[in-house]
Amino acid sequence: MGIAEGATRKSLSDVVFDRIQRAIKSGAYGSDERLPTEHDLAAEFEVSRPIIREALKRLRDQGLIYSRQGAGSFVRSIGLKQPLGFGQLENVSDLLNCYEFRLALEPEAAACAAERHDAARLQAIGAALELMRDATNRQTHREDADFLFHLAIANAAENTYFSTAMEALKDHIAVGMRFHGASVKREASGLMRVFGEHNAIYEAIRDRDGARARDLMREHLLGSRERLFERRKPEAEAVS
């Protein structure tokens, strides 16, 4: 179950965190079940124990596990419950409402990410950006990389309310990104322009310019909404 080859664009602790998080949320571990020891996890993932410790710290910070002195790490029962939940996105009005919420959420997350990110968090944002760059060079759009970019920024904000909200909205955001990607591909320079918007956000976060990161994220989301809806008023049409 080695992960070194798959982590060239992502820190090893991020990969370990993601895999253990998925295992917990999928029910692979029961409530209050003890996780394998640091030594066993390091052997399982073929990484060093400091990397395991970093991943476990993130899991504790997000309320997914807790530690007992001398006993190890255990799955927290509350961590198996979704703190947020949204119904199915059914029409254009729902999609507009999603954009409205994102405009309240993501610009502030970008500002916090600029102020608080560490090297690993910045690397995760940059890795998603590189996936988008590769897709743009091939004149295509990758909704998964687009979402990873925005989620990585929420994670870099070091506030689990931002990241939890983004994860809960994943399916809703994916609908907007899919339609937005189709709309920008109709223009010869559309994909490159949108990539440039993402790159500018990344650079502002990298440079720890919170005000600029906030403004650029807001401009990007407003532009995305405008390109998608072409200034139309909300309609009750189905989006699927």
Query: What pLDDT digit, counting tens, does each position of 48-64 carry?
Result: 999 999 999 999 888 88
Q: Is the pLDDT of residue 8 over 70?
A: no
* Res 78: pLDDT: 52
Every domain of the chain and the residues it spans:
5-80, 92-229
Token look-up 């997350």 returns 109
Domain 92-229 listed as CATH 1.20.120.530: yes
H or E, element range at 60: helix 49-61
Confidence (pLDDT) at 85: 59
With a cut of 60, say whether residue 145 has pLDDT above it: yes
The third-level CATH classification (topology) of the domain covering 5-80 is: Arc Repressor Mutant, subunit A (1.10.10)
Q: CB–CB of 63/144 below 8 Å? A: no
Kind plus residue range of the DSSP H or E element containing 231? none
Q: Which residue has the higher pLDDT, 228 or 100?
A: 100
Confirm whether pTM is higher than 0.75.
no
- How many CA atoms lie less than 13 Å away from 61 in the CB half-sphere? 14
Phi-psi region of 230 (alpha: psi -120 to 50; beta: other; left: phi over 0): left
> What single string gives the DSSP state of each residue in 187-228?
STTHHHHHHHHHHHHHHHHHTT-HHHHHHHHHHHHHHHHHHH
| Maximum alpha-carbon separation in the chain | 61
> Considering only CA atoms, which of 42, 4, 9 is closest in space to residue 20?
42
Cα gap 141→133, rounded to integer Å: 9
> For the chain, what's the residue count?
240
Question: Per-residue pLDDT tens for 83-93?
Answer: 455 667 778 88
Distance between CA atoms of 70 and 179, rounded to whole angstroms? 51
Cα distance between the two ends of the chain = 38
206 close to 124: Cβ distance less than 8 angstroms = no
Better-scored residue on pLDDT, 103 or 26: 103
Q: Give pLDDT tens digits for 196-238.
A: 999 999 999 999 999 999 999 999 999 999 888 864 444 444 4
